[in-house]
Every structure is written in C-alpha cells, then in structure tokens.
Structure 1
Amino acid sequence: MKLTTDSRETLDVITVEANRIDAAVAIQFKDQMREAVVDADGRVVLNLARVDFIDSSGLGAIVAAMKLMPDGRKLELAALTPTVDKVFRMTRMDSIFAIHDSVESATQSAI
C-alpha cells in the first residue's frame, strides 16, 4: 500500500496508489493515513481515483482514518470509481463524507 501526499494552498491531497483497499492492506492503510494526517492544518482530501475495489475492511479503514483527523478537521473523498461509489452509497457512508467528483472539484470547493 502506497499513499502520496500533495500539499496545496488550502488542502492536502492524499492519493491511494493502489487498486484495492481490502483486508490485506487495511491496517497498513490506517497506519499510513495516521502519519499523513497527524500534522494536517487544512482540509484533507483522499483521492480514490485508482481504487477499483473496496471491501468492508477497507471501508472500515477509511472510517478509522476519518476518526484520526485532528480536531476540527474532516476527511473528504474525491474521484471515486463507480464500484467504490456504489459501496459508499449502499452503506450510506456518502452521508458521512463529503464526496467530490474529482480532486479539482474538491480544490475549488469551499467546504
């Protein structure tokens, strides 16, 4: 599991450089997210453009990452593939997270 961070003016974009977030990588994902968000000053957007599959462990890892956010900060999601988007909608997690169509739309949003 590899995550890359791109710090922009008002937000940090964390990109998942893998096609799956599942039980095999969930703990590693949480650990890397903890490191990535510990010093977050502004908004944090998780770019899921490359993720084609997510299972319940992966979904739980993203929720755990949300809970790791510093006080007053929220984890936003961007660029969900159709399969991943379906999982978020079926589990109603789309009501918990701000979900953007793309990283660019997240950057322009003032949430």
Structure 2
Amino acid sequence: MQLDAMPRGRDLLVAVREDRIDAAVAVQFKDAMRQVTEGGPARVVLDLSQVGFLDSSGLGALVAAMKVLGPSRRLDLMAPTPAVQKVFRLTRMDTVFAIFPDEDSAFGIGDLAHAG
C-alpha cells in the first residue's frame, strides 16, 4: 500500500497512491496509515483523488484509521472520486467524515488568499 505523507502547515496530508481500497488491501492500508500518522499532528487529511474504488472493507479501514488517531486527533478526507463519494453518501459516512472537494478547500488556501 503506497501512501505519501507531506506536512501542510500544522496538518499532515496523506495521499493514497492506489486505485483501490478494498478487502485485498484493507489491512495494509490500516498498517500504512498507522505508520505515517504515528506521533503526527492533530489533523490528518487523506487525499483520495487516485482511489477509484472503495468497498465496505475499505470503508472499515478508513474508520479504523480514524479510531487509531484517537479522540484528540481528526481524519478529514479530500478529493474523493465520484464513485468513492457515492459510497460515502450511500452509507451516510459523509456525516462522519469532513469531506473536502480539493486541497484549497481542505487547507483553507483560498481563505488565506482573500484575507485582509
């Protein structure tokens, strides 16, 4: 499971470099997320822009990754593909995760550009 972690201000951006998060890779995803987020900042933003398929095992792996962060840290999602966005809507997990359409909105870049 290929994940790239990059600091973004006080947050951590984790990009999934796979086209699927499903039963075949769910355990590897959870392990990789644990490794890249361990001891990290209070907010992790997961870039799903390359993920074209997410099944129930993948959804469970996302929830598990959120729980590993603990109550004092947050996992937000960014740029899900239409198919993945549909899974979140159908399962109502879009009410559990904050989901941002792109990096600018996830990190408030547009807001900074218009500030004072």
- TM class by smaller structure: over 0.9
Deviates more, 1:62-71 or 1:50-59: 62-71
Structure 1 residues 51-66: aligned runs within 5 Å: 51-66=51-66
Q: TM-score, normalised by structure 1?
A: 0.94
The SS at the match of 1:68 is helix
CA contact (8 A) 2:42 2:72 kept: no
Identity percentage of aligned residues: 51
Aligned pairs (5 A) from 1:1-111: 1-108=1-108
1:52-82 Cα deviation digits (max 9, x unpaired):
0001100000000000104411100000100
- Describe the SS at the equivalent of 2:13: strand
> How many pairs align?
110
Specify the code of the residue in structure 2 equivalent to 1:65.
A
Computing the radius of gyration from Cα coordinates, the structure with the larger value is 2
Tell me, in whole angstroms, the C-alpha distance in 1 between the residues paired with 2:13 and 2:75: 10
Runs of 4+ in 1 over 2 A off after TM superposition: none
The equivalent of 2:114 in structure 1 is none
Q: Secondary structure at the match of 2:72?
A: coil
Single out whichever of 12-21 and 99-108 deviates more from structure 2: 99-108
One-letter identity of the residue aligned with 1:51: V
| TM-score normalized by the length of structure 2 | 0.90
Q: CA deviation at 1:8?
A: 1.6
